[in-house]
Amino acid sequence: MVKIRLKRLGYKKNPSYRIVVIDSRSKREGAPIEELGYYNPKTKEMKLNTKRAKERLAQGAQATETVMYLIKNANEDGSLNYKKAETKKLSKKAQAKLEQEKAAQAQAAQEAETSADEAQA
């Protein structure tokens, strides 16, 4: 069976990967059938030949979960379309203050709605 998977390169605690088409029975660093691109998870840098990857998938090659994610999130030029999650961790005091502000806004909106209903009646 032919798979599209990552081939690890780089030194200790600094991985970089090549995206390769390889026989599933061969070892991780074995000789690939074809190299489709590379991916560096630390810098989120990627270059992928998406056209060839999709052709290989159409021919019956199976991609690993990580490679499928990379293929789906690749731009037309083969770079990674990475969106960093913009969540901020707040302290308990800040969370409580934010909840109070939301409750106050909701109450003000409710009061405005009831006063508008009374004005119509």
Residues 111 and 121: their CA atoms lie apart, in Å, by: 15
Residues 93 and 68 in one domain: no
Domain membership flag for residue 79? no
Per-residue pLDDT tens digits of the chain, which is 121 residues long: 899 999 999 999 999 999 999 998 887 777 889 999 999 999 889 999 989 999 999 999 999 999 999 999 888 888 888 776 677 788 888 889 999 999 999 998 888 888 777 777 6
Residues 61 and 12 in one domain: yes
Residues 97 and 56 in one domain: no
Calculate the alpha carbon distances from 79 to 32, 68, 99 in Å: 22, 14, 40
Q: Supply the range of the domain harboring residue 94.
A: 89-121
Domain membership flag for residue 49? yes
- Helix, strand, coil % in the chain, rounded to nearest 5: 40, 25, 35
The pLDDT of residue 89: 80
The pLDDT of residue 121: 61
Residues 68 and 99 in one domain: no
Domain membership flag for residue 80? no
